[in-house]
Structure 1
Amino acid sequence: SKRGYNSKWRQARLGYLSKHPFCVSCMMEGRRVPATVVDHIKPHKGDKKLFWDSGNWQPLCAPCHSRKTAKEDGGFGNRTSNVHV
């Protein structure tokens, strides 16, 4: 909630997912997988303007979001990068 993920975000997230119901990453592979996460394409790092810029949002399923976050943050033994799913 400190990072902006509050009730206002939850409401925006639900509205976005209702208009963009499928994971964009899976769709590029020919699979229709329901999106459950609204991802910030470019990490906002606390920048409220970037946080609320819906042009910086994309619908992802949880596994794709986890992979993208791990690549960006260097998780799972990966080095950090600017690679986006």
Structure 2
Amino acid sequence: MARLKPMAGRLTGLAPRLSTMDRTRDQARAAVKRSRAWYSSKRWQDLRWQVLLEAGFTCARCGFASLEKRALVADHVEPHREDEVRFWDRSNLQCLCWTCHSRDKQREEIASGR
């Protein structure tokens, strides 16, 4: 019976292409939506941190708690739709876990047409 060859050597070449694709996609998004730049600003990082601290690093929907950097997000309760005032409005932000934000809330927004 033939032996399978290890795949590790072949798969390592994929990583650079994936990161290049991600970078290209992000650049295309940034060209269309000016709010993309707001997310990488120090002002946003400080505001995001404030939201997470005030929430005790706990998701407002499911109660998931984590100190991991990527596990929680500062979410806009009402989508900002490129409105700079609504984007920076602290009262429009809540702490959500990645699952509630990227799966559940996105489905709800699509279903409601927001």
Give the aligned residue type for 1:65.
H
Distance 1:82 1:33, change over 3 A: farther
Task: Give CA-to-partner distance per residue, 1:20-53, whole Å, 9 cap, x none.
Answer: 12001013xxxx4336101000000011111111
* Correspondence for 2:89: 53
Identity level (%): 36
1:40/1:51 contact within 8 Å kept:
yes
Residue in structure 2 matched with residue 69 of structure 1 by the alignment: 106
Match of 1:36 among 66, 72, 78: 72
Amino acid at match of 2:112: S
RMSD between superposed Cα atoms in Å:
2.1
Alignment equivalent of 2:49, drawn from 3, 14, 20 = 14
Q: Extract structure 1 runs of 4+ deviating beyond 4 A.
A: none
What SS class does the counterpart of residue 26 from structure 1 fall into?
A: coil
Q: Tell me the TM-score normalised to structure 2 length.
A: 0.56
Aligned length: 73
Contact preservation (8 Å) 1:26, 1:33: no
- Measured in 2, the distance between the counterparts of 1:54 and 1:82 equals 24
TM-score (norm 1): 0.72
The 2-side partners of 1:12 and 1:62 are apart by 18
Give the CA deviation at 1:16.
Answer: 1.7
In structure 1, stretches of 5+ residues that fail to align are 75-79
Q: Unaligned stretches of 5+ in structure 2?
A: 1-29
Larger radius of gyration: 2
